[in-house]
Structure 1
Amino acid sequence: MKEKIQKLLNELNNLKKNTLISDMHIQFIYLSTKLDILTAKMPINNKMLQPFGYLHGGATMILSESVGSSLSFINIYKKKNINVFNIEISANHIHSIKKGILFSKAKMICKGNTLHVIKIHIYNEKKKIISFCKMTNIIISKKKYDKKN
């Protein structure tokens, strides 16, 4: 089982090449055996700060959506003609932060055939909560999506 989990983490980390996830230096570091929890980390750098020197809320949202969408992806991984799209995300930013490493822990709350609801906690190295988010992902067939576009 450990080998399967490590393989999935490696695949997630390989998929991010040449994407925003890569540009933000997000690394997937933990996946539960039930595939219901995914954790990633992201170092804070100067490009992620707002003009007042604190982490920009948008950077937090990129981390949250990346981990939440990846958790949904892992859960539909074997279905070849399916896409995952985020249709709603909300965040409450509780504490500010200027430097360090952020961790994002996404947990599947509801895993339906067409919708996934995920809660995400963003915290620092001392496990102090920085933000918490809720997101909803839609699971849609590639054929239906391609017809619309």
Structure 2
Amino acid sequence: MKQSLADLMAFMPPELVAEQLITKLGIEITEWSAERVVATMPVRGNLQPFGLLHGGATAALAETLGSLAAGAHVAPDGMLVGLELNVTHHRAAREGLVTGVCEPLHQGTQVGTYQITVRDHRDQLVSTARLTCLLRKRPGR
């Protein structure tokens, strides 16, 4: 897909853009297609009480990337909803940026499954995730 997330959110009033989770977490999409989605997210501002990257923030990054890949797969006439998200945390991230990379495991007509890896600023594996989405044509299409 050639549109950026900013382009897709341009129709939204600025106060609603500020309320989006992707904005609050500081997620920046750097690559986006049906075959691969890449983004970064700062560790700072997304910490749990012990000073480590919050597992929920990592899960939100993973679901964002998988949803964007599924959206690119069903565009322009489809819609999707997440069915299952599984995240395994392998190592703590304490500083810098983490980078998430999403690639499809299966892209069907009704179900899409995506693998997401999250690595720290030293390229060490932080988490792996799998997102499964239900894919549908939009009503009336």
Structure 1-normalised TM-score? 0.81
DSSP 3-state at the match of 1:143: coil
> Are positions 1:68 and 2:66 aligned together?
yes
Q: Tell me the secondary structure at the aligned position of residue 127 of structure 1.
A: coil
Matched to 2:8, the amino acid is L
Farther off after superposition, 14-23 or 50-59:
14-23
Structure 1, unaligned runs of 5 or more: 145-149
SS in 1 for 2:53: coil
Who is 1:143 aligned against? 139
Give 1:56's aligned residue: 54
SS at match of 2:62: helix
Query: Once the 2 structures are TM-superposed, how far is the Cα of residue 98 of structure 1 from its aligned partner?
Result: 1.4
Task: Provide the secondary structure at the position in 1 that maps to 2:139.
Answer: helix
Superposed displacement of residue 49, structure 1:
1.1
- How big is each residue's C-alpha offset from its partner over 1:99-141, in whole Å with a ceiling of 9 and x where there is no partner? 1101110001100001001000000122110000011001124
SS at match of 1:134: strand
Residue number among 112, 123, 137 corresponding to 1:116 in the alignment: 112
Shift of the 131–55 alpha-carbon distance from structure 1 to 2, 3 Å rule, reads same
What aligned pairs does 1:3-42 form with structure 2 within 5 A after superposition?
Answer: 7-8=2-3, 10=4, 12-15=5-8, 17-18=17-18, 19-31=20-32, 35-42=34-41
As a proportion of its length, which structure holds more helix?
1
Count of residues paired in the alignment: 132
In structure 2, C-alpha distance between the alignment counterparts of 1:69 and 1:96, rounded to whole Å: 24
TM-score when normalising by structure 2: 0.85
Structural RMSD (CA): 1.7
Which structure 1 residue ranges, 4+ long, deviate > 4 Å from structure 2?
Answer: none
Determine the structure 2 residue equivalent to 1:44: 43
Q: Matches of 1:13 and 1:41 in 2, distance apart?
A: 15
Shift of 1:78: 1.9
Q: Identity of paired residues, percent? A: 24
Consecutive unaligned residues in structure 2, runs of 5 or more = 10-16
- In structure 2, distance between residues paired with 1:13 and 1:125: 25
